[in-house]
Amino acid sequence: MKKKILYGLLVILIIIQFFRIDKTNPAIKIENDFIEINNPPEEIASILKTSCYDCHSNESTYPWYSNIAPVSWWVKDHINEAREELNFSEWGTFTAKRKDHKLEEMVEEVEEGEMPLNEYTWTHSEAKLTAEQKTLLMDWVKEVRETAKNKKDKKILHLNNGEKWGANIETTAGIERMLSIINEEIEDGRISLYAAMGQRLSIEMETIFAECTMEGDAHDQLHLYLIPLVEIVRDMEDVEKEDTAMILQKDILKHLNKYADFFESA
Ligand code: HEC
């Protein structure tokens, strides 16, 4: 009886060997690769390749035991699941939000010692991360996240690495004309003069836009600077109450003075 069962198992084991897993890696587009895009230091790249890429990329190398069913099925399952969750070969196709989330998960998984999977390090001892490697990897991943976040912050007015942005002379001259207009004193009760002031400022702003020859980041920053100004100047044109007008005048003056903190003409 025992013999029969063993014999039966052997037959099954032989038969399942015919159900082989597909080991062909999906095609790789190098421009979408995580390492290619983020260009980490050699040491980090090597950690990722050794400890993560077998499962989380389209560059899997299959161990010898992956030739034997049912272990092969189990290996293939891991790889499929890992690729589905996070495929480093397809990094370039992720949205900014997904990238950020995956980077966050990477830190978490490594910190908690969840990754690389234990089942993997049993047979790939070189993939086991030392405490030092973990710290290196996590610090670098956090840095990548931070850099991406700062790029997003480009949409906030800021200096050019601590220096002012170079503005064309016409822009600076336009701001100066606006400053002299806004500094004019208006007698009490002359509300219509505030609206007229708004119109004159508006004309100067149009000239600034028309004459601007700035390009690239400097141009984007000027735009960020001017947008709120356009809005308060428009409010000034439509102003009906004297106390509102006086507040607007102060706000515009404050915003115009800010120009020199961020821009200068050579
Ligand atoms: C043996 C294959 C294998 C290796 C090697 C491996 N992983 Fe995983 N990884 C998986 C599998 C399977 C999952 C999905 C199931 C789970 O979360 O346990 C996963 C999930 C993850 C997730 C979660 C993704 C999400 O959004 O939930 C992250 C992050 C991750 N791995 C990062 C890594 C990093 C970083 C390494 C290398 C240091 C690594 N993994 C090595 C198999 C692997």
140 is written with which tokens? 């670098």
Give the number of the atom of ligand 1 that is nearest the alpha carbon of residue 86.
24
Q: Residue 37 pLDDT > 90, yes or no?
A: yes
More confident residue, 140 or 158: 140
Mean pLDDT over the full length of the chain:
94
Is beta strand 165-166 parallel, antiparallel or unpaired with respect to 263-264? parallel
SS3 label, residue 160: strand
Q: Tell me: the pLDDT tens digits for 186-229?
A: 999 899 999 999 999 999 999 999 998 888 889 989 999 999 99
Distance 48 CA to ligand 1 centre (A): 11
Q: What is the pLDDT of residue 152?
A: 73
Distance 117 CA to ligand 1 centre (A): 7
Q: Residue 151 pLDDT > 90, yes or no?
A: no
Q: What is the pLDDT of residue 155?
A: 78
Distance 147 CA to ligand 1 centre (A): 23
| Mean pLDDT calculated for residue range 232-257 | 96
SS3 label, residue 263: strand
Angle in degrees, 0-180, between the axes of helices 191-211 and 216-237, rounded to the nearest 10: 160
Amino acid at 54: D
Q: Tell me: the pLDDT tens digits for 59-86?
A: 999 999 999 999 999 999 999 999 999 9
Q: What is the pLDDT of residue 77?
A: 96
Residue 162 DSSP code: T
| Mean pLDDT calculated for residue range 10-35 | 93
Q: What is the pLDDT of residue 266?
A: 76
Contact 159, 262 (CB under 8 A): yes
Q: What is the pLDDT of residue 256?
A: 97
Q: Residue 154 pLDDT > 90, yes or no?
A: no
Q: Residue 159 pLDDT > 80, yes or no?
A: yes
| Mean pLDDT calculated for residue range 146-164 | 84
Distance 31 CA to ligand 1 centre (A): 22
Distance 34 CA to ligand 1 centre (A): 15
Q: Residue 164 pLDDT > 90, yes or no?
A: yes
SS3 label, residue 185: coil
38 is written with which tokens? 């983020």
Q: Tell me: the pLDDT tens digits for 79-135?
A: 999 999 999 999 999 999 999 999 999 999 999 999 999 999 999 999 999 999 999
Distance 194 CA to ligand 1 centre (A): 64
Give the number of the atom of ligand 1 that is nearest the alpha carbon of residue 81.
12
Dihedral sign computed on CA atoms, order 153, 158, 162, 166 = positive
Q: What is the pLDDT of residue 189?
A: 87
- The candidate with the shortest Cα–Cα distance to 256, out of 195, 189, 196, 184, is 184
Ligand 1 pocket, residues with Cβ under 6 angstroms: 51-52, 54-56, 78, 81-82, 85-86, 102, 105-106, 109-110, 115-117, 120
Query: Which of the listed residues 97, 109, 126, 142 should we mutate to test ligand 1's pocket, taking the one with most ligand atoms within 8 A of CB?
Result: 109
Q: Tell me: the pLDDT tens digits for 39-53?
A: 999 999 999 999 999
